[in-house]
Amino acid sequence: MIPILSLSPLPETLAPALRERYAVHVGAGGAPLPAVRALVGGGSMTVDPALLDRLPRLEIVAVHGVGHDGIDKAALAARGIVLAITSDVLTEDVADLAIGLWLAVERRIAANDRSVRAGGWSVPLARRASGRRIGVYGLGAIGRAIAARAAPFAGEVLYGGRSAKPDVAWRFVPDLTALAAASDVLFLAAAADAGNAGVVDAAVLTALGTGGVLINVARGLLVDQPALVAALASGTIAGAGLDVFADEPSVPAALHRDTVVLSPHQGSATTEARAAMAAMAVANLDAHFAGMPPPGLLR
């Protein structure tokens, strides 16, 4: 059987199917690294040249997710190693969570739940979600799904990113600070890399403004987290819904505020999404070793 390596424990949705087909090794210790031909891991795994040097026969990195900001793609390309992700299968669930976080912040759902559980009943007034101007940073599959869900609520939908999309009617705002200034709610759905690390900084948060809400279901890397903490503490923005953080699973106590809804990076954590992700991760490996392009090939 072809030897494959996972650097962390495999989810139960994925492990049985992999073990039926491949010689699976979990953790580098004791694994036959010179023989390993595939590397499997979640979207937050790190793959750098030092690791690749230890895996001379590696042919494919199969990500169980869509994140790949910790993977040195230039190093893979230089070695002819394929990179595949579980694209599209978690889009709907991540977009659902993004909308849920937004509504939870605007209507104080989490804060009011805590109040009722503690015996309270009288709570501060919340804010209407309908009619707000919605900005989406990153109009890939997930960004589009968020925008489509938000549109029936929105006064206007705007988006930003690398380029305008000719097949959508929403307004394109190329500059992120300008997008924030034009939005009441700013959703982050962009892929993260070294080029946009900390792109949501103090200036962007100031532009979002005292009535603005930030929703992040992309990567914590996109946000200057100390600047976000300061903006929430000072009232520079009204609130935030966060599924991702700078140093997971560490969440600063300063984010434990009634104006913030916290979520444990659970965008794809549904039975349906995890089953589909596992099936696609296996399909990516099977296709590659059968001499065909993986369905989730990242080009």
Annotated catalytic residue 114: no
Quote the tokens at residue 225: 């987290």
Q: What is the pLDDT of residue 283?
A: 97
Per-residue pLDDT tens over the stretch 181-226 = 999 999 999 999 888 999 999 999 999 999 999 999 999 999 999 9
Q: How far apart are CA 124 and CA 135, in angstroms?
A: 26
Give the length of the chain. Answer: 299
Per-residue pLDDT tens over the stretch 115-162 = 999 999 988 899 999 999 999 999 999 999 999 999 999 999 999 999
Q: Which residue type sits at 65?
A: G
Q: How far apart are CA 78 and CA 224, in angstroms?
A: 31
Annotated catalytic residue 54: no
Q: What is the pLDDT of residue 257?
A: 97
**SS3 call for 136:** strand
H/E run at residue 83: strand 82-84
Q: How far apart are CA 220 and CA 225, in angstroms?
A: 8
Of 64, 108, 219, 288, catalytic:
219
Annotated catalytic residue 149: no
Q: What is the pLDDT of residue 243?
A: 98
CA-based angle 46:48:53, to the nearest 5?
130
CA neighbor of 39 nearest in space, from 77, 78, 74, 10: 10
**SS3 call for 257:** coil
Domains of the chain: 3-89+270-289 (3.40.50.720), 91-262 (3.40.50.720)
Q: Is 191 left (phi over 0), alpha (psi -120 to 50) or beta?
A: beta
What predicted TM-score, i.e. pTM, was given to this entire model? Answer: 0.94
Pair 237, 212: CB distance under 8 Å: yes
**SS3 call for 169:** coil
Of 19, 54, 162, 248, catalytic:
248
Of 144, 265, 274, 288, catalytic:
265
Average model confidence (pLDDT) across the chain:
96
